[in-house]
Amino acid sequence: MNLAKSERGETLFNAYAGLEVKAFRLKRPFSFLPPVINNTGDWSTFIDTAYQVYKGDFIDNSPHFLGKRVIIDRRNLDGGYVEGFWHVVQRDMGGGGERYTDFQRLERVPWIKPLIENHTAEGVEYRRCLEGKRETRHYILAPSKNYVVILGEKKGAIFLVTAFCMNRSFADRAIFRQPPHGELAGRR
C-alpha cells in the first residue's frame, strides 16, 4: 500500500489498482480552545495572568461578532482591573449582590474570545433571545465544557456581559430548550 500526502495534507491511499481514496483528519470539537490558566497557588500570578489574557483579547485586539466589534466595560473603579474583567471572573455567591472571585472563571478567561469567534463551530450551541423590551442577548454555549459566554446587544452595539461555568439549573433554563414559534432563539 502506497501512502502519500497531497498539497492540502490529505493522506492518499494508492493500493487498489490505481483507485485513489482520500482520508481526512477531522477536527476535534473545541480544538480551537486554548488550555486553561494553571492555578499554581500564587494568587497574584494567577489573576495577573488572567488579566493579561483578557487585556490582549478585549482591550488590545477586540473580537468581532456578527460583523460588529465586541466592546467591554472599560471603567476602572478600583484602580486595578477594568470592570468588564470583574464581570467574567466574579460571581454573586449568595444572591445579595456581593461578588466573589471564582477560580473556575479565572482559569477559563482564555476561552472567551475563541468561543465568540467560533460560535458556529461543531459542538458550540448558539442562542439569540430577546430579554426585556429592547435588549437582545447572545448565548454561546460549550455544553460539553459546561461553559457559556453571554453577549448583549443594544442599539446595534455588541458588548461582553459575562462568561462562566454552567451549573445544572442554568443549563436547564427555558432558553436552551426548543423555542416556541416566533421567538428569537435559534440553534446553529
pLDDT tens readout for residues 64-116: 999 999 999 999 877 789 999 999 999 877 677 788 889 999 999 999 999 99
How many angstroms separate the CA atoms of 62 and 116, rounded? 11
> What are the backbone dihedrals phi and psi of residue 84, each rounded to the nearest 5 degrees, phi first?
-60, -35
- Report how far residue 7's alpha carbon sits from residue 22's, in angstroms, rounded to the nearest whole number: 12
Average pLDDT estimate for 55-63: 96
Amino acid sitting at position 75: R
Asked if 20 contacts 135 with a C-beta cutoff of 8 angstroms, the reply is no
Closest CA to 118 of 141, 98, 99: 141
pLDDT at position 48 is 95
pTM > 0.95? no
What are the residues facing 142 on neighbouring strands? 147
End-to-end CA distance of the chain: 41
Q: For 123-172, how does the pLDDT look when each residue is reduced to its tens digit (9 = 90+)? A: 999 999 988 777 899 999 998 899 999 999 988 789 999 999 987 666 56
- The dihedral sign for the CA sequence 97, 144, 123, 104: positive
d(C-alpha 74, C-alpha 32), whole Å: 27
The closest alpha carbon to 28, from 145, 141, 126, belongs to 145
DSSP code of 109?
A: G
